[in-house]
Chain A
């Protein structure tokens, strides 16, 4: 038999001005199972709380209903008070007599009636409340950062500087990402390498960071604070510990005609290679797809020239298993290639290039040492056209969104061109100029006003070659839609920023959601931009949507703080208001029939399949099981389950039906 205490609050006069608090207390006192009821001026004040605590002790209360303000305000206060008096905190409920009654209704009979109803509902509910214990999970204080672009670098450094361990994995031979390919950066035009390289080195030298380059995520298990991760370290075919990075092997390798990924195909590399001079780590890998030895069984020149015999042709991929407490996803983005644009030549005109290729041309470390020369014949283009929104904002091509960074880098490119090619003419075909950011609009204005870049509002319809010129068929919509044809020497397409081709597979591995374009989805578009729906997994940089460096870096620091918060605790304490699948004695085990409708409903992939096995190890039944580390307590699964096998603690079927019945039976 329950012994429930009802504590009615006046809230000064906030409640008592319209609700007859004494009558609420008196009427509730008569309810079945109520052992004590009282009204008081300020329940949340110290004397108020003491009133509750002593009643619990003296009357041996088994449940408490505080009729006061919104539970969103003081539920934690009263639950804590109960716990201090030795009552399980989840045996306490609040009736909202202030926000939902006294403040919204006039004084009168109906208002007090409503207050009494609200108390009664909760008295009945509390009868079905169960003692629950806060969930505690241990935290492994090592973070995994996936992707070594500027976002991954920043996140790793920030986490490492809080004193926690970081494992950074990068799929390429070097970290650096797209930023390492850039020439100068908007809106300040400072050299990308100059500001990035020190950070890359810092990563390599940081005592708290373990860098695995040429490595990818193999699998993930577990949940927040307790992930078990397997990392595939792809074979580099060298002994990294021995190799000094002298580079002799790379100069002697006879396979020299492989288009360099780092130079976006505008330069060549060897089969054993370091992607770029400032690479971190600065040690080569053998690209087995192009190495003559792996292809034909002959060569081994690198092995011969290596002064310390560091080449290992028989090296195999290794799998590293690590325990991780949090994961930061920072895998960045990709850009569309010119073959995505049939109307601009299907990638067959060498002088129609992407913005990223232009970065390499403009970069002092690039294939032309920073001179703007066109790929076909090395001539300096006298007329250059930049095409904005190439593939972006193009529903017909399946990319309706704006890629966000291109308006700015086009202005930068046109500016760099004007600075480098005196007397050259540059045109930008654009639809809108999106330059929202500190000093961004000013930057674009400078390109137009000071550097004389010709901005033409209109989309290019077609590009074709005629007598060595690229004919760009555009239009000026501000001149009454006047067709504008330009004979260009080179055309730069600001191609759409898109998700990496392996993004979907990676998201599925990690159980994080992704949007229609395969960018990873944040947990809330405004208030949880660096969280994912999976607790303990965070996002940084352009893997969430195309973004520039300042934003990628802020986001990375944000994600790092989230990780640091998590690591500031030894144990995670979570509200136990989570779902559970019932368990019964064998041979039934549970009323769950294993339909797994709940699995499809859960927004957090918190429900797993559990196999019940007999002694012989044979599977007799497959049941749903809620992972308490992942469940957020939304209850969606509960409404889906047809056999009522899954229930939400704190909002159980019994409790909810009881509330409804209690309400209507008297109302």
Chain B
């Protein structure tokens, strides 16, 4: 059987991490092709129910990445994101999401190599954990309504 190729979604902010990932490209640094980036203006915009949604839909792992503290383009969006992340963690415990499957990091526009590292290490970690079938099995798709409603 071929090696398990995890499906990983990356939620990143436009100003730091997206730009950092661009730099990885301009620097021609190679990394695993398993990650798909979804661009947000700021990590502050990231609604954590979207993460739940992504797991619902079959993601094996998620990366959330934005600017370093104090570097936020909008000054405090990433602080708000971090604060909500703490709440989200306990929610994860409650609904049974394995938080090892979520990688939270800071990658600045200058950290092209770091982005490659983050992707590679996350791919390796998720590969280790295996497909996230348990969740997909038990998930009651509670957020389907969120978008529809």
Contact = CB atoms under 8 A, between A and B. Distances in A.
Direct contact of A and B (CB under 8 A): yes
Contacts of B41: 577, 633-635, 648, 651
Interface in B33-58: 33, 36-42, 44-48, 50, 53-54, 57-58
A105 B75 contact: no
Nearest to A659: B38
Nearest to B59: A664
A658 to B, nearest CB: 8
Interface stretch (B23-31, B89-97, B100-108): B23-31
Given A635-B42, A636-B44, A636-B80, A660 B54 contact: yes
B9 interface: yes
Given A70-B22, A100-B21, A653 B47 contact: yes
Interface string A623-667: 000000000111110111000100010010110111111011101
Interface stretch (A110-118, A136-144, A210-218, A544-552): A110-118
B70 interface: yes
B42 A657 contact: no
Given A651-B45, A656-B47, A99 B24 contact: yes
Nearest to B116: A104
B15 to A, nearest CB: 9
Q: Please classify the interface of chain B as helix (H, G, I), strand (E, B), loop, or mixed, using the class held by over half of its residues.
A: mixed
A243 B58 CA distance: 81
Contacts of B40: 635, 651, 656
B45 A104 contact: no
A93 to B, nearest CB: 10
Contact of A660 (B21, B22, B25, B57): B57
Given A523-B75, A660-B53, A638 B45 contact: yes
A60 interface: no
Given A100-B25, A635-B45, A639-B46, A106 B57 contact: no
Q: Please classify the interface of chain A as helix (H, G, I), strand (E, B), loop, or mixed, using the class held by over half of its residues.
A: helix
A72 interface: yes
A114 B32 CA distance: 11
B7 A72 contact: no
Contacts of A121: 36, 38
Contact of B58 (A525, A658, A664): A664
A91 B23 CA distance: 27
Contacts of A656: 38, 40, 47, 50
B19 interface: yes
Given A99-B21, A99-B22, A114-B36, A513 B75 contact: yes
A663 B39 CA distance: 13
A99 to B, nearest CB: 3
Given A634-B41, A635-B42, A664 B22 contact: no
Nearest to A522: B75
A635 B44 contact: yes
Contacts of A533: 75
Contacts of B73: 524, 634
Contact of B9 (A104, A105, A525, A660): A660
Contacts of A634: 41-42, 44-45, 73-74, 77
Contacts of B57: 660-661, 663-665
A621 B120 CA distance: 51
B69 to A, nearest CB: 12
Interface string B1-20: 00001010100001000110
Contacts of A644: 146
Contacts of B75: 513, 523-524, 533, 603
A294 interface: no
Contacts of B31: 104-105
A236 interface: no
Given A110-B33, A513-B75, A103 B25 contact: yes
A518 interface: no
B138 interface: no
Contacts of B21: 99-100
Interface in A54-91: 70-72
B80 A601 contact: yes
A234 interface: no
Contact of A106 (B25, B30, B80, B81): B30
A374 interface: no
Contact of B42 (A117, A636, A653, A665): A636
Given A110-B33, A603-B75, A664-B54, A525 B47 contact: no
The 10 closest A-B pairs by CB, nearest first: A635-B45, A99-B25, A636-B44, A634-B74, A664-B57, A103-B25, A657-B147, A99-B22, A634-B42, A105-B33
Given A639-B44, A661-B53, 20 more contacts: A71-B39, A99-B25, A100-B25, A103-B25, A104-B24, A104-B31, A105-B30, A105-B31, A110-B33, A524-B75, A601-B80, A632-B74, A635-B77, A636-B81, A639-B47, A644-B146, A653-B47, A657-B50, A660-B38, A660-B54
